[in-house]
Structure 1
Amino acid sequence: MRLFRRNPSGRAFAGPPTCLGSLIWNNQTMLAQAKPEPPAKAPSRPRRVVQRFPGRRHPRRGRRRGRPRDANALHPSQASPVRRDETAAMSSVREHYDNHLGPVYAWMVGGETSALARGDAEIGALDVAPRGGGIAVDLGAGFGMHAIALAERGFDVVAVDACSVLLDRLERLGQGRRIRIVRDDMQSFVDHLPGAPELVMCLGDTLTHLPDDSDVEALIEEIAGVMEPGGRFIATFRDYSQRLDGTRRFIPVRSDMDRNMTCFLEYSESHVLVHDILSERRGAEWATRVGAYRKLRLAPARFRSMLIARGFSVEQSSEPAGMVRFSSRLDHPGNPE
């Protein structure tokens, strides 16, 4: 005998006569037969056709159409995070000194007292003293390592530098001395002269801050054009014309218990990119800042020929740490050879 029952949907179904089997079988069958019908699909809207143009950025993918994807490029999720204090972007000389070197420059050269004593000894070895109008120009004066020594020997000094941090120190250290402080690029020194100088100095590695050889030549021309007859132009710079390779490109600057500085040199055809790596202790940890700027690979022979071409007689000598010194006198003003 078969039993017929009706499920909630109103349909009849048959089940076995046993009670327990009937209940189980009926429940499963009811669930299967009571399954609701799927809703009818809404009519689809017509597909919009978007015209593609080569080179346009796709609004979602963010990649320019028509350009192949770099197969070697890492997905952002695969790239290693870069610490902010380990990155370095090339900056201008002024930016590099204002933001990176200026605050630690006195420390780099051994401290203010030691640097001023060394600068005084260097000026003394050059045997310079006022003989004419008494005006001396210090290009790249910094905090006054040589400008103060010149003023103490009786010169009226025009101290030119582009770094405000260093000039603030010079203003403090040079109080009471005849020093005119000028914040400007060295190419513009003529605009700040009170008269014809008898001495122009550009010591340290300042000349290599100029963009290229033509700027160096223009500076020499300006000096020869305003200098007193028989005046002296004394300059030093580091010779980058010979490439260093391997670990020789790492140059220790100074180190103590709280600070360490090293330079790394990266050469191109006409310039060297100087990476200044500065690590400082901050409490129990060390923080590292890296800055980079370009210096000119000025060849000593090229610089010597520029001086001679503008009427200077030249004496050249080698200094420690790859530095070269040129002591020149304007023997033929306005009559270059």
Structure 2
Amino acid sequence: MDLYEALGAQYDEMISWESRYGREGPFFRALFEKEKVESVVDAASGTGMHARWFAGWGLNVVAADPSPAMMATAAHNTSGLPVRLLQAGFGELRASLDGQFDAVTCLGNSLPHLLTDDALAAALADFRALLRQGGILVLHNNNYDAILDHRDRFMPLAARHTPDGHKLFVRFFDFPHEPGPLAFNVVVLSQEPNGWTMEVNSTKHRPLRRRDVEALLIGAGFSAPEMYGSFAGDPFDEDRSDNLIAVAHAA
């Protein structure tokens, strides 16, 4: 089963959205105001939390994701808000949407799920086709320069108290012997009355370095991107940053 289908609503238990809003909300509000953004497509929108924020700010929002489980949770999270939900994957958005948009976002390390050059090129071309001239694309990935160079396997442990009891979310990478995709694993440990249960699911990530992201964007018709290492606007540091956030304009 697909990792995200398996996680379903547990995805929102794993992510501390309140903390993320505190970090990411000011970044996006300032950027969208600066760029006069009124409409946005959130590609690989997952459970719809970013779409919920954006719609709450009065923007016209499309949230697109290929996963039925993610779309079902997004419908709940955006209930009562003017968010259009679209079940569609990378490279499929332009064909399903009319008009042009001021911004496209692709967040939460979504783009590295595309494993081939052709799939990546198609996704970036699709993003460009959605945007008006001068519109912005925001990509948010892990810093794979640091992950690859330092062999950083483990992400921070997420310990949560949920309506179903205590859960631990353990996320880590397995590195291949030869250059290629990484295995990204999510282990969910759930405390039950008779002990703990364990659920393990995995997917593949293509570890996109900074130079890869820049080349993909320019090749798809975007300007040279501004690169940040955090949503506080810190410059990207290949050795130390946790994130790679790229902001590029449709040329």
Partner of 2:3: 96
Q: Tell me, in whole angstroms, the C-alpha distance in 2 between the residues paired with 1:177 and 1:256.
A: 27
Partner of 1:315: 226
Structure 1, unaligned runs of 5 or more: 1-90, 333-337
Q: Tell me, in whole angstroms, the C-alpha distance in 2 between the residues paired with 1:104 and 1:229.
A: 38
Contact 1:115 1:145 in 2 (8 A): no
> Per the alignment, in what secondary structure is the counterpart of residue 101 of structure 2?
coil
Q: Tell me, in whole angstroms, the C-alpha distance in 1 between the residues paired with 2:137 and 2:64.
A: 15
Residue 254 of structure 1, CA deviation: 0.3
Partner of 1:251: 155
Q: Tell me, in whole angstroms, the C-alpha distance in 1 between the residues paired with 2:96 and 2:122.
A: 17
Q: Are 1:106 and 2:6 counterparts? A: no
Q: Tell me, in whole angstroms, the C-alpha distance in 2 between the residues paired with 1:98 and 1:322.
A: 26
Q: Are 1:209 and 2:113 counterparts? A: yes
Aligned residues: 234
Structure 2, unaligned runs of 5 or more: 232-240
Q: Tell me, in whole angstroms, the C-alpha distance in 1 between the residues paired with 2:213 and 2:95.
A: 24
Q: Tell me, in whole angstroms, the C-alpha distance in 2 between the residues paired with 1:283 and 1:114.
A: 30
Partner amino acid, structure 2, of 1:110: S
Q: Tell me, in whole angstroms, the C-alpha distance in 2 between the residues paired with 1:311 and 1:143.
A: 28
Residue 245 of structure 1, CA deviation: 6.2
Equivalent positions of 1:149-188 (< 5 A) are 149-188=53-92
Partner of 1:144: 48
Equivalent positions of 1:275-286 (< 5 A) are 275-286=185-196
Q: Tell me, in whole angstroms, the C-alpha distance in 2 between the residues paired with 1:119 and 1:169.
A: 21
Which protein has the larger Cα radius of gyration, Structure 1 or Structure 2? 1
Which is strand-richer, 1 or 2? Answer: 2
Partner amino acid, structure 2, of 1:266: D
Q: How much identity, in percent, do the aligned residues show?
A: 21
> Per the alignment, in what secondary structure is the counterpart of residue 230 of structure 1?
strand
TM-score by length of 2: 0.82
What CA deviation, in whole Å up to 9, does each residue of 1:216-257 have, x standing for no partner?
2221122223321111011110133442667x4233330146
> Per the alignment, in what secondary structure is the counterpart of residue 270 of structure 1?
coil
Contact 1:130 1:155 in 2 (8 A): no
What CA deviation, in whole Å up to 9, does each residue of 1:35-72 have, x standing for no partner?
xxxxxxxxxxxxxxxxxxxxxxxxxxxxxxxxxxxxxx
Q: Are 1:287 and 2:210 counterparts? A: no
Which of structures 1 and 2 has the larger relative contact order (alpha carbons within 8 angstroms, sep 6+)?
2
Contact 1:119 1:145 in 2 (8 A): no
Contact 1:158 1:193 in 2 (8 A): no
Partner of 1:267: 175
